[in-house]
Structure 1
């Protein structure tokens, strides 16, 4: 079966809100504690993977029982986090879209590393986002992105590369035209859509687009 959308559950902040984002036809990947979250809530992951150092042996046995496929990785002899392993596996399936849930949490190093994974998807031409109950994060590059108003209060723009040039905003409370943002600037924080949609154009560089609510 071909899956156009892959949803990754990983081991950060998760809740009922995450389950409500699952759609019919999604391929579900659970990374470590993310796999446990899915199985404990009655979902059957298509693939569960990781070193499973965040679960007990009894919980791991339950994950194996509930999952279509389980991939084990040594906690010492691996180059990537469980989340990146799941991300790379998802990209290898050539989906149209990847949504990652549980990628943000108390470990800022993991959260930031997960945001950086968006670049890998962009390079492969796959639409990707990181979502939690307060944020939706995606990456814009040359050509930009069109945004549909999903009810978030704010939209913030932060450079992922040293500088991003040719930023033009249409449909925003605070418009920009051919603007440049450099790392360390807060100019792009807390903008708002005026209506149901807006457009972000970028000429050069990688721009994080963060839709958020308190």
Structure 2
């Protein structure tokens, strides 16, 4: 998949919907380190793999997993942040430069929105993407060209200060368009093997759907 952003071997597995699409499953099974957010550890073990570390307040982890993997637990009871952020802070403390997040979506919608929006915070510190069972969420902090493929479905979300965006190679072009509402940049389509987004201010999250 030549449009894939990068192939980090450090994976954070959140306690949302477990990967079932071929892409996130491949990322998971080829990971060198899997940092599980709390109860995701039980799901990973049931899948047949083992967590490298388990991070969080550990209130959703089974007693058996707590016992069997006690030396891999990183307890963090901070209530001012969520388990995904705790896991990101942990991998940063270990010197990671890039990370792929799996399982951040698919359960409570408020958790999903929160997890996706946090990508913009993480992107200031390391290369990061979040992969669901339908596509990839990528934080975009500056103008750039993004690899894609013809007819790939693309959605663009502007968070914080609305960005005036000009696009190239999208079916529905943006011409200094301000995305003042989240729906406005959704359901676009790439016309080739890449598309570009130009903007002077603001922060974007781009969703790129898998081909099937």
Please state if 1:29 is matched with 2:35. yes
Aligned to 2:99: 98
Residues 25 and 110 of structure 1, relative CA distance in 2, 3 Å threshold: closer
1:185-196 aligned at under 5 Å gives the runs 186-196=183-193
Distance 1:200 1:100 in 2: 23
Aligned to 1:51: 57
1:169-208 aligned at under 5 Å gives the runs 169-182=167-180, 184=181, 186-208=183-205
Residues 82 and 185 of structure 1, relative CA distance in 2, 3 Å threshold: closer
Contact 1:141 1:203 in 2 (8 A): no
- For structure 2, the 5+ residue unaligned runs are 1-6
- For structure 1, the 5+ residue unaligned runs are none
Aligned to 1:13: 17
Residues 120 and 92 of structure 1, relative CA distance in 2, 3 Å threshold: farther
CA-atom RMSD in angstroms: 2.6
Distance 2:139 2:19 in 1: 24
Residues 186 and 42 of structure 1, relative CA distance in 2, 3 Å threshold: closer
1:57-136 aligned at under 5 Å gives the runs 57-62=63-68, 64=69, 69-74=72-77, 78-124=79-125, 126-136=126-136
Query: How does the TM-score come out when normalised to structure 2?
Result: 0.82
Query: How does the TM-score come out when normalised to structure 1?
Result: 0.82
Contact 1:152 1:212 in 2 (8 A): no
1:152 CA drift (Å): 7.9
Count of residues in Structure 1 that have an aligned counterpart in Structure 2: 203
